[in-house]
Amino acid sequence: MTTLDEIKAAIEKLTFEERAQLARWIHGWSDDDWDREMIADAKNGKLDRFIAEVDEQIEKDQLLDLP
């Protein structure tokens, strides 16, 4: 069993109040390294190609919903 599986199993055993407390704690996390990198990439134009591709798909009504 992986650590993630163990965490999921432990979360399932929490009471409603404990799950709400956990959700508030997770929601309150500040940006991590990945978030900061994505923000920097967006500011530096590294995501422009992907944004243009999505915009084109939207214009052609070809944008697919995520599963």
| Domain boundaries of the chain, sorted by first residue | 1-30, 31-67
Q: Which residues of the chain have pLDDT under 50?
A: none
Tokens for 46? 């590294």
pTM: 0.47
Tokens for 47? 């995501």
Q: Mapping DSSP to helix (H, G, I), strand (E, B) and coil, where does residue 64 land? A: coil
Q: Which residues of 35-61 are buried (b: 16+ CB within 10 A; e: fewer)?
A: eeeeeeeeeeeeeeeeeeeeeeeeeee
Task: Report the pLDDT value the prediction gives residue 64, as an integer from 0 to 100.
Answer: 83
